[in-house]
Amino acid sequence: MPFLELVNVKKQFGGVRAVDDVSLAVEEGEFLVLVGPSGCGKTTLLRMIAGLEETTDGTIIIAGKDVTAREPGDRDVAMVFQNYALFPHMTVFDNMSFGMRMAGVPKTEIESRVSEAARFLQLTDMLKRKPAQLSGGQRQRVAMGRAIVRRPNAFLMDEPLSNLDANLRVQMRAEISRIQKDLGVTTVYVTHDQIEAMTMADRVAVLHKGILQQAASPAILYDEPANVFVASFLGSPSMSLVEAGVEATASGVTLKVGPQSIQLSRADIERFPKLPALSGKRVVVGLRPEDIGVAEAQLPEPGYALFGDLPAQVVLTEMLGADEIVYAQVEADWVSSPQLRALLAAADPLTTADSDPSRKERRPLMICRSSRRTATVRRGDHIRLCADLTRLHLFDSSTGLSLRASGGSASSAAMAAPIARNITRKV
Ligand code: ATP
């Protein structure tokens, strides 16, 4: 039985639907991360779980009990906020023990719980200090300690690392994961940072405009995104997306990408059983940067196929040490549906700004990650691109939903749900 269940949960603030019919189950001990762009409803959803925000509709179940109408204090969950909300005039010990003292927990029990949590959080030598005498990371650990000593059924964390500098974030990321695994407490964690989501979570739930897009393990989200929004939002640099025509023939299926025809193998087609029926229609083709190569350097590597002679011109290169990221404009069509373009602009403003079809001189970008040992290209170079077609992603060009057979994604929620309310389901 799941530990936390959200059933058709909705939240309306006047004319704004902040959370739109979200259903999601979190297993006991699971680390679930809610992620999405600003304003997607993640904080509102977390506050509803905590009882700090009333639900407009739907049911919230914690440990088998319907808590939808219960006060926050009756839910046995502990919130950890972005601003640590420590009392500045109190010592670390007093901050950590405050809730227990208010609840009348005996002194010896308080001391034992605080010293256990302090040992765990490496704060033992700092119990007499005040918050002003601590670093940001230490303050965050005190805030965690205050939640841990309560021994709650669940932790609810709202962007707890966003006030820390980049190095400390990486360190605290690992620490929070370790603490959560050691304690085995069910945790729901909100962030807008996809790296945080992918590195910390057992499962990630992606939200956009209050709608749950997909909930799955980081690997499934990355390899089998349910729709173009998830595909574009997760991954850095993001997935390259272009529109292509489909032609089913007696010998198989051909994708027409710009001036090029790409013949798909039987195995490729098996992953997309709906594809032959889409003959004559358009689909959105997606490839991750690590699956695209500069043809002159990459071929003939096993698994790679020449992406026709897809004309491409390098507009930018980024040196990452061992690898180089090559941004190339290709002679192909970008996504034509205005609704999907709006979704993609929300998921990845950088790439879509360059691909805006209203700017006539612009062409869609394809982004490839090449080994610097094999590829040396420069801005302005004309190159040919190749791609690992076994890693191809295909999406419906009007609904944006994946055309992949859903068998491998049984754990993915929202596989067939609409991405946005104004896009009707077609597949
Ligand atoms: P961020 O990452 O920027 O914190 P978020 O994903 O956590 O964003 P929410 O804070 O949950 O998003 O807000 C979701 C939507 O609900 C937004 O459009 C926001 O403006 C709206 N909203 C949130 N709280 C209220 C409120 N009290 N009254 C009116 N609208 C609200």
- DSSP count for the chain of H helices, then E strands: 12, 20
* Residue with the larger pLDDT of the pair 296 and 234: 234
CA–CA distance, 353 with 350 (Å, rounded to integer): 5
> Ligand 1, atom 10: nearest CA belongs to which residue?
43
- pLDDT of 176: 85
pTM of the model: 0.88
- Specify whether the CB–CB gap between 312 and 297 falls below 8 A: no
| Atom number in ligand 1 closest to CA 192 | 2
DSSP H helices in 184-306 = 194-200, 218-223, 228-233, 266-270, 295-298
Both 321 and 412 in one domain: the answer is yes
Protein residue with least CA distance to atom 24, ligand 1 = 44
Residues 6+ apart with CB under 8 A from 36: 42, 192, 206, 207, 208, 213, 233
CA of 44 to the centre of ligand 1 (A): 6
Domain end residue (candidates: 223, 257, 292):
223
- Residue 155 and residue 37 share a domain: yes
Q: Say if residue 274 is in the same domain as residue 398.
A: yes
Same domain, 208 and 234: no
The domain that contains 49 carries what CATH number?
A: 3.40.50.300
Identify the residue whose C-alpha is closest to ligand 1 atom 27.
13
Residue 394: count other Cβ atoms within 10 Å of its Cβ: 22
In a 13 Å sphere around the CA of 21, the CA atoms on its Cβ side amount to: 8
Distance 241 CA to ligand 1 centre (A): 29
Q: Do 105 and 249 lie in a common domain?
A: no
Beta strands in 209-343 (DSSP E): 211-216, 240-249, 252-257, 260-264, 282-287, 292-294, 304-319, 323-330
Q: What is the C-alpha to C-alpha distance for residues 283 and 335, in angstroms, rounded to an integer?
A: 9
Ligand 1 near 10 CB (within 6 A): no
Minimal-distance CA residue to ligand 1 atom 15:
18
Q: Which of 9, 11, 13 to mutate to test the pocket of ligand 1 (most atoms within 8 A of CB)?
A: 13
Residue 41 CA to ligand 1 centre (angstroms) = 6
State the burial class of residue 30 (Cβ atoms within 10 Å of its Cβ: 0-12, 13-18, 19+). Answer: buried
286 and 378 inside one domain: yes
Asked if residue 38 has its Cβ within 6 Å of ligand 1, the reply is yes
Looking at residue 423, what is its pLDDT?
63
Q: Is the CB of 16 under 6 A from ligand 1?
A: yes
Residue of minimum CA distance from atom 16 in ligand 1: 18
**Pairing label, strands 323-330, 304-319:** antiparallel
The mean pLDDT value of the chain amounts to: 86
Q: Is the CB of 87 under 6 A from ligand 1?
A: no
List helix spans (H) across 121-249.
Answer: 136-148, 166-183, 194-200, 218-223, 228-233
Cα 18 to averaged position of ligand 1 atoms, centre (Å): 6
The pLDDT value given to residue 412: 47
pLDDT in tens, 340-377: 988 888 888 766 655 555 555 467 889 998 776 655 78
Last residue of a domain, one of 223, 240, 262: 223
Contact of 31 with 200, CB cutoff 8 Å:
yes
Cα of 13 from ligand 1 centre, angstroms = 9
Q: Do residues 150 and 271 both lie within one domain? A: no
Cβ of 44 less than 6 Å from ligand 1 = yes
SS3 for 357-399 is CCCCCCCCEEEEEEECCCCCCCCCCEEEEEEEHHHCEEEECCC
The answer to whether residues 243 and 333 touch, using CB atoms and an 8 Å cutoff, is: yes
pLDDT category, 117, cuts 50, 70, 90?
confident
Regarding the beta carbon of 398 and ligand 1, being less than 6 Å apart is answered no
Structure tokens at 96: 């950590």
Residues 193 and 63 in one domain: yes
Beta bridge partners, 48, equal none
The residues, any chain, with a CB within 8 Å of residue 287's CB and separated by 6 or more, are 239, 240, 366, 387, 388, 391, 392, 393
Q: Do residues 363 and 390 touch, judged by C-beta distance below 8 A?
A: no
Q: What is the pLDDT of residues 236-292, one digit of tens each?
A: 889 999 999 999 888 889 999 888 888 888 888 889 988 989 999 999 999 999 998
- What's the number of domains the chain is made of? 2
Q: Are residues 219 and 233 in the same domain?
A: no
Q: Which domain holds residue 40?
A: 4-223
> Residue 127, Cβ neighbours under 10 Å: how many?
18
> 178 with 278, same domain?
no
* Tens digits of residue pLDDT in 245-260: 999 888 889 999 888 8
The residue written with tokens 């005190």 in the block is 142
Is residue 22 domain-shared with residue 148, that is, in the same domain?
A: yes
Residues 150 and 188 in one domain: yes
Final residue of a domain: which of 223, 239, 272?
A: 223
**What pLDDT shows up at residue 427?**
32
Q: Alpha carbon of 260 to those of 291, 385, 386: distances in Å?
A: 18, 11, 12
Distance from residue 216's CA to the centre of ligand 1 (Å) = 24
141 lines ligand 1 (CB under 6 A): no
Q: Is the CB of 43 within 6 Å of ligand 1?
A: yes
Q: Which residue shows structure tokens 């949960």?
A: 9
